[in-house]
Structure 1
């Protein structure tokens, strides 16, 4: 097969374009909704109240997404691709309907939970379908296409959410998503195949799912407190539960991740470790960068938000740019990727904590650093995800596909919690103001330089073993 036949022209050509758009569309639907709701949430709270539950809109959504992701392999075997996608899309639409009709915050939280389950299924099913729909040489490009939808969501979601918020029409935003989700279900049912590889549906690892959900809830609950003691408590409990999950995974026949995922030093374990650390590094910065830009560099919320979105843009560009690499070049880019993120993190460490009016030169430097941070992650991302599918045993392919979303979401929650702990301990709230924010920025970027350094060590070992 020639290079052209294996390239983007094949993935987006006549044979594959419709399945490709379905997989990308499912992730885009979820991603746009994430940033749309985040933008509208202040307006929602002003309308129906529930400020005390503000953070739980995201917390429950993330937990529900993890539950949906872990159930995707079972659903795929039970209902086949068409049925699984229809159920996922309709659950997502139902969640939107509940949110649109919500008279009070608890009802909205119920809707967000249903949305999260549907969204987690959509993301995880997209990764699972890549190996079923496309030849292996196309996997990195398909991974890049699907992952790139988060960049689209970051750019489009806040803009659409801002428009509906300005019009005091947040309910209409939820209503508008419903026909899109229903139309997506119809298209998926008509485009996707209705068969998967022969085999029985794997039993759900209910104990691990429950423990993982409690761990994320604990992390999130601790991270919203301004008191470091609660941050530490949340992270500690989550760490203990994670160790317990690992012990159960090693002994149980009902597994959450592929068997080699917890065997230290194996290629698959190295891939998961690298993937999780990269996701944590970007998430930790993404949580506080808009605040740092506003307080320390005098940017408006809109400008700060879109400067922060450069990380997602870099991630998308890196994924697309590196997805055509294979063999030795793919291994090389796995080593280059954390180096790019490390340089970007050091630049942010040098520039972000310094209070200034952010002239164009400094602002340009910050923009380049933020873009480069995401670029480094994106360069390695499609190859890391592809190696998860390559390294997993043949009878664990569905589980491996589902694990991509599970690990990414868990790393995201952990990254946000650690970032909150570091920022609060450094003085974000006390003494607060410019001084406290500058301290928080310095400590955050200083500590998280360790993430790409560790990733570099892991990838060096990985490329020697694969």
Structure 2
């Protein structure tokens, strides 16, 4: 599940009203930025909803998690390249280029005759979508006055909540009608409209006074190592041999560690100083973000489990799955107004709720815990929302803590790294989810028995990363003098 990330906001910046954001030129600019995130977010929920129908039509259940893995890996590259693209092309042309790549990927997915073509399309989609999402947040600082930044961040982040309404509806209706390809085709006219809006409202005259990022270097070696880390884990998961799977995980983690080691001595940094040391407050916060995002990647298998085990329609399964994103969005918006000790308590409670909700899903999804179908589904929805809410309630405060802990002169690096760490957590989580599900019997023996075993092991295993984040949250808040 993708999620909101914030640009570099100073805690001292005063906040303007919502009417200031929606009045005159600001309103059109807000629509131009939110449209990009909305398109990316709706696509995520569309694909989550239609993927069971896709594998029934063109095959590739073994590769189920790869649709998300490759999408997020490509998004990492897109997010990192967005800084250079913005500096070279400017706001308008950068957004239009990202939309063009996203549209190309959507067209490839729509016409995919087999799973390799689908995975190729998802990779192209991820490159464009990751760039588009990162640009939307980066442009907040360029097109708006500082007083509008907090409202603009909340608005852009809220698009994930809107996506929980639109994405499952589009994907579910087309999947139930047996036309899942049209779910991808519908993205093309939306991308065209967004491109027209960007062309009209992000004209150079509107942004020439803003500080467009310089043509900074790209931490290419670190990014390549992170991408290789995810791919090695995913490849290991394709094997049925436990030894090969274990070797894939070990090699993947080693490559991730190599990326951190390289970053420590690189001239162009991916992470700010101190972020690669877990004992530092900054490193603990980044680690918490990655661990919480790993827990949410169980979402990619939920529609399949609900359709196979509970007999839900694609539309119903899609909306129930979207409860996780809805819980994230709502809790993030509600908790963003909390400060001081209350904010610290939310930061500690969030990982606890996330881990507890995942353990509840390990019981509810495989067999409904012996409850009537309606009660079991209602509890599944509550648990899914709990996973998202557990991340969302502490998210604004983790981001704020990062920006206040960033060393002088490295705030921009710290802000950009939020997206990279978030996407890496999602990518490694998706790769691990595919490994766990396949090893637990998703494809062999397959069917209902395989899905039950896979659901139990997947949710139970993925409760561990948020559990580790509980310890980190206590360390982070204790460093601030909160008992």
- TM interval, shorter chain, is 0.7 to 0.9
Match of 2:71 among 61, 66, 73: 61
Structure 2 residues not aligned, in runs of 5+ = 1-10
**CA drift at 1:314:** 0.8
Return the alpha-carbon distance in structure 2 between the equivalents of residues 273 and 382 of structure 1.
15
Q: Which residue of 1 aligns with 2:278?
A: 264
Count of residue correspondences: 465
Superposed displacement of residue 211, structure 1: 1.8
Match in the other structure for 2:28: 18
Deviations 1:158-201 (A, max 9, x none): 32134445566566554443332233233234434245537632
- Measure the CA separation in 2 of the matches of 1:52 and 1:452: 27
Question: What residue is the counterpart of 1:119 in the other structure?
Answer: 129
Other-structure match for 2:168: 158
- Corresponding residue to 1:129 among 139, 147, 150: 139
Root mean square deviation, CA, Å: 3.6
Maintained 8 Å contact 1:226/1:429 = no
Hey, what does 1:322 align to over in structure 2? 335
- Does structure 1 residue 187 correspond to structure 2 residue 194? no
Tell me, in whole angstroms, the C-alpha distance in 1 between the residues paired with 2:474 and 2:148: 24
Q: Deviations over 1:275-322 (max 9, x none)?
A: 1111111113x1333344445545444433322221111111111212
Give the distance between the partners of 1:359 and 1:443, measured in 2 at CA: 22
Match of 1:93 in 2: 103
Alignment correspondent of 2:251: 237
CA distance in 1, matches of 2:443, 2:131: 37
Q: Give the TM-score of the pair, scaled to structure 1.
A: 0.84
Q: Please say which of residues 57-66 and 306-315 is displaced more in the overlay.
A: 57-66
Aligned counterpart, 1:392? 406
SS of match in other structure, 1:260:
coil
Contact (CA 8 Å) 2:65, 2:431: kept in 1 or not? no
**8 A Cα contact 1:232 1:421, kept in partner:** no
1:130 Cα shift? Answer: 3.5
> 1:163 & 1:424 partners in 2: Cα distance?
28
Does the alignment pair 1:248 with 2:262?
Answer: yes
How far 1:438 sits from its partner (Å)? 4.4
* TM-score normalised per structure 2: 0.82
CA–CA distance in 2 between the matches of 1:204 and 1:319? 31
Q: C-alpha separation between the residues in 2 aligned to 1:425 and 1:80?
A: 47
For the pair 1:342 / 2:342, whether they are aligned, the reply is no
How many Å separate the matches in 2 of 1:51 and 1:139?
A: 43
Q: Could you tell me which of 161, 166, 178 is aligned with 2:188? A: 178
Residue 371 of structure 1 is matched in structure 2 by 385
- Give the direction of change, closer, same or farther, for the CA distance of 1:140–1:289 in structure 2 (3 Å limit): farther
Are positions 1:208 and 2:222 aligned together? yes
